[in-house]
Amino acid sequence: MAEKTVSFSELDRYLFHEGSHFKAYKKMGAHIRRENGVSGVRFCIWAPEAKRVCVLCDRLGWDEFKGEMERVGSGVWEVFIPGIRASDKYRYMIVGCDGITRFKADPYAFRSELRPATASIVCPLTGYKWNDREFITQNTNKNVLQKPMAIYEVHLGSWKRDMRYEDGFLNYRVLADELAQYINYMGYTHVELIGICEYPFDGSWGYQVTGFFSPTSRYGTPNDFRYFVDKMHQCGIGVILDWVPAHFPKDSFGLEKLDGGATYEALNPLLAEYPEWGTKAFDHSKGGVRSFLLSSAYYWVTEFHIDALRVDAVASMLHTSFGRSQWYVNEDGSTHNHASIAFLKMVNKTITKKTRAYLIAEDSSIEPGITEEVDKGGMGFMFKWNMGWMNDTLKYIETDPIYRHWDHGKLTHTANYAFLENFVLVLSHDEVVHLKKPMVKKAPGSIMDQMGTLKSLYAFQFTHPGKKLLFMGQDFGEDREWDENRELNWGLTQDFGHRDIMQCVKNLLGIYRSYPVLHTDSKNPTTFEWINSMDYDRNIISYVRRNPWNYDNALLVVCSFSPMQYNGYRCGVPLEGYYKRIFSTYDSLPGSGGPGEVADIPPLCTLHEECDGREYCVSYDLRPFESAIFEFPIKKTEE
């Protein structure tokens, strides 16, 4: 239910300007209500340097004199307009401190017009009945580290399209039903959504946001999006939303010079912009900006039941020198952006304490403590994207196998820092655009070599320490770079080779979810043990994934990135006994002896021969670009 009053009280003003008002959206924006027995909408906006502010509404013929707002103190303007209803369009006319009149969308709008239109739309926060109580109860930020997390990253507008509709966009409800079915079929645990916060330019993919409280109207209404999240939860799927608190675009109807001054952006020209992106940087030193962004985060996780926010471009917020040829230097000579760092700590602490959700950092910096608790001196994120693993591994994959021995360290070095943070191993949309090639075409060689390399890469990713993320289409070997204006090439799933990649990923997802040694490893180096990290001449690595106390239900992993076959390949093992193969990248191929052809594959029996510094070893015919996973110890009766 809406609150009895949305007028800014003295307490609201104090919390807002302190920067801690995480429910500011319940007072700011457009709220349907009754005052003195009359139905209408109360509008509220923060425009501290404005000379005059008016609400223009389509129902009132866009007449400025019918929506004159009153300054109620501390830069806040309010007005109650009778007769305004849900779905009415509106915008603000603001006469700035510079004397220029600007027409602005509501920074706190809960719904926006479909681009290129720019008006805000009156939209109640009520009216949807949720059906996800069981999921909400069982999934909190208290137990997420010990659970499997395999994320399917999706851009809804290009996952599937239907050209019978304008722009080809499907509704959130249609997408929810089809996407949930696919995610459950494959075995992912979470979906991460690109470009949900409203944005004007399709080519920005949603990373230049103008609607920090508004689900994009490309795919329907806010309640349609609530249905999407609800459906995912009912199917056991967590929902992660990309969120951008670092910067905003310069579109004339947006936040730039909202009231003629530097309201949301920094006044200091050395901090005001990100020239590389052509955007304005938020000034996190201002209480009104902090409350705006903090309440945006709280809004998504409470009003839409979002499970986690993936915070974009964290590195740009940590240092004043990021992406700038000239930058601000602190008195101590450092370039740390203290205001932005303090804001990140505050939003992390607030969201994890007051909600069941958490934040994930998309961070390319080497700043320590990103996933350490704030009270322990850290930044407070639950997870951090492992950009180092992604960069090192892809550079190795892109190298010709003949020369990979020179880059072998790129493949093995990742284990040296795998436990410094709570990492997510990412192969995201950023890696398959701008001439970077789709995943299946990154490796050199024939298409069969490329497919074999890709399957071994996925085997490495899903058995390496850390949570997992894979961008849509790459799980069946999409053969084109991602384009936000076209749907995935789903026809490839009927091709045998691409179907094989898809089945390989599906099998890996099942193993990842089924074996706790693969998903209870956060900051626990005892869960990973090298067998051989130095077989660089043959492009092979081998390691063990285990629980911290013993080898119960442990896994031996052998990954080959070589086009050669090695009959009788010997691999040292920790224990004497039997090793049962539970996965091979050849499992779906005819004549491979995989599960599709042989119901019970005999386990390997150890040889009492020293290998890789171990007393025992197993011998296995390792085929070109094959990766295999063995469970141990296995009792002889299971042979």
As given in the structure block, the two tokens for residue 532 are 């051989």
Q: Identify the bridge partners of residue 529 per DSSP, sorted by sequence position.
A: 544
Where does residue 537 rank: exposed (0-12), middle (13-18), buried (19+ CB within 10 A)? Answer: exposed
Residue 115 near residue 167, CB atoms below 8 Å: no
DSSP code of 465? S
**Longest CA span, the chain:** 91
Residue 581 near residue 629, CB atoms below 8 Å: yes
Amino acid identity of residue 362, one-letter, is E
Whole-number Å distance between alpha carbons of 213 and 204: 18
Whole-number Å distance between alpha carbons of 492 and 476: 7
User: 437: closest CA among 398, 382, 496, 480?
Assistant: 480
Residue 541 near residue 533, CB atoms below 8 Å: yes
User: 517: closest CA among 630, 594, 369?
Assistant: 630
Q: Does the active-site annotation cover 312?
A: yes
**Active-site residue identified among 192, 265, 362, 631:** 362
Dihedral of the alpha carbons of 571, 574, 575, 577, in degrees to the nearest 10: -20
Whole-number Å distance between alpha carbons of 585 and 560: 10
CB-side neighbour CA atoms (13 Å) of 554: 23
DSSP code of 587? T
Q: Which residues contact 385 (CB under 8 A, 6 or more apart)?
A: 310, 360, 361, 362, 363, 423, 424, 426, 428, 469
C-alpha triplet 533, 539, 544: angle, nearest 5°: 35
User: Is there a cis peptide before residue 222, judged by omega within 30 degrees of 0?
Assistant: no
**3-state SS assignment for residue 312:** coil
What is the per-residue burial (b if ≥16 Cβ within 10 Å, else e) of 411-438? bbbbbeebbbbbbbbbbbbbbbbeeebb
Beta-strand relationship, 101-104 and 383-385 = unpaired
Angle, helices 496-514/172-186, rounded to nearest 10 degrees: 80
Beta-strand relationship, 616-622 and 383-385 = unpaired
Whole-number Å distance between alpha carbons of 437 and 249: 28
Amino acid identity of residue 403, one-letter, is Y
**Active-site residue identified among 265, 312, 535, 626:** 312
Beta-strand relationship, 150-155 and 190-194 = parallel
Q: Which residues contact 41 (CB under 8 A, 6 or more apart)?
A: 30, 31, 32, 33, 80, 81, 84, 85, 88, 122
Cα separations (Å) of 573 from 198, 519, 556, 605? 53, 22, 8, 11
What distance, in Å, lies between the first and last C-alpha atoms of the chain? 63
Q: Does the active-site annotation cover 362?
A: yes
Positions marked catalytic: 312, 362
